[in-house]
Each structure stands twice: as structure tokens, then as C-alpha cells.
Amino acid sequence: MLDAYLARIGVPAAQAARPDLDALAAILWGHVRSIPFENLDILLGEPIRVDLPSVIAKLVERRRGGYCFEQNALLAAALGEVGFAVTPLAARVRWMATAPTARTHMLLAVEVPGRGRYLADAGFGGNCPTLPIPLAAGAEVAMHLDRYRLIDHELGLMLQVALPDGWADLYAFTLEPQLAVDYEVANHFTSTHPSSHFTRAPTVAITTDDGRITLRGSEVARRRGTEIAREAITDPDRLLEVLATELRLAFPPGTRFRGGPG
């Protein structure tokens, strides 16, 4: 699987020959630039399967994207083949949250020999960290577009992102290892429950060399540095064009997504 995955994310095998921090950074950066975050199967009435063979078939062989349970299951398996010790974790999403939230986000703790543990996450959409973060309160890392930090919080550790007016909460988590069944339960909620935003409208994001492209509902935002250009999409065929040409997701003509334009 590792060779096919590295080819998918454009990382030469030599860069992933041993489990060090450079390899972890190269793999995470290649992943977020190559495999889009997306929930489109849900909106087509297709189930989201988070077992590893299904994830490899979808994200690697079919060159589709996925959301956190798919993205980070794939990343964890690849890192394990490189030789990293990986612990799957779960977080409560706090971005834009006004009420308590369940543990519905998957992330990874990765042990880097001689360097300690790092947070690695390829599945947080338009706010996804693009490099590893030391897994300790007080860690602060500037990367690509943004600055992230971890702080102590009553819910465990809180990952925050710097905004122009201060720090914003992204998600809170503990270091309790998760089992595959934990993600099966969380995935069932996020992919089927009517209160889950993933069941309501398209959500797609991919990192580019100088920014990010993010689709939410019927609006696409193109970020370059600190500048953001927005386009309202009212034509479903225009949505298919944007998906294919900018977000690396090709669908047959006439495809329509629940919650999208048309």
C-alpha cells in the first residue's frame, strides 16, 4: 500500500525511507495537497466506509477524497508502514461551536524517534494543519498559511488557530487511544444524522502551494495568502467544473448533490 499511497501524494519513496520528522512533514504536506477533504458520497446517498481496505480503494485507487475518518485512517496506515508508532485519537470540534460537542473528529499522535510525539491531522478541511505540531501544551507552529498552537483546556488539549483578532478554538482532545469501533460509531453519526452538517451540503477543501480552495454549500472560496476571493455557484454544471478543475474531483455529467446548487 505504501508505494501506491506515496505516488498518490507525490512524495518520493526516498523521503519516506525512515521514520523521522522530515518524513512526517513531507508526507503530511503531500497528503493535504493531493487528497481533497470531501463529503460528497454522503450527498449522493452512498455510505461512508472507514475500514482500511475501503479507504484505500476510495482515496488511493479511485483518487477520491474523504473526511477525517477516511483521511486519517489512510495516513495512520501509511505512517505505520514507514515505521512510526501511531496512536489514533478523537476530538470534540469547537470551531464555530456554541454548544457542547461529541468526539466526532479523528486525529493522530505520532511518535518520532528521538523527537517525541507530534499531532498529525490530514482531515480537518479548510482549517487543517499542514505540518506536524509537537504534542504538548504551549507548542506553537507557523506553517503555510496560518499559525497553530496547543493549550491546556478543561476538555484536555485545545488546538487553536491564529486569526486577525486573536486565537480561535478548533478542537479539544485527550490522549486516550481510540479503537476502530469508536470511529465506526462517530462516522455513523456524522454521515447519517440530520443534525450533522456533513449530511446537508457539499464541503470540499484542498491545500494549494500558496493557499486553499474551499467549497461550502454553493460558495467556493479561493484563498491566496491573506486574500480570499469568493464565488457563488448557482449552476450545478459549474459546480462540477469547479470540482474537476480546481478540487481534483471528477464526476459524470449530470451529477447532482443534495444541498448543492440545482
Q: Which residues are catalytic?
A: 68, 105, 121
- Residue 59 burial by CB count (10 A; 0-12/13-18/19+): exposed, middle or buried? buried
Give 3-state DSSP helix, strand, coil % of the chain, rounded to 5.
Answer: 30, 30, 35
Cα–chain center distance at 133: 15
Cα–chain center distance at 34: 11
Beta strands 156-163; 146-153: pairing state: antiparallel
For the chain, state the CA radius of gyration. Answer: 17
Q: Collapsing DSSP states into helix, strand and coil, what is residue 134? A: strand
Q: Collapsing DSSP states into helix, strand and coil, what is residue 58? A: helix
CA–CA distance, 257 with 262 (Å, rounded to integer): 8
| Residue given cell 486525529 in the structure block | 107
Q: Collapsing DSSP states into helix, strand and coil, what is residue 179? A: coil
Q: Which residues pair with 161 in a beta bridge?
A: 148, 168
Amino acid at residue number 200: R
| Residue given cell 477516511 in the structure block | 70
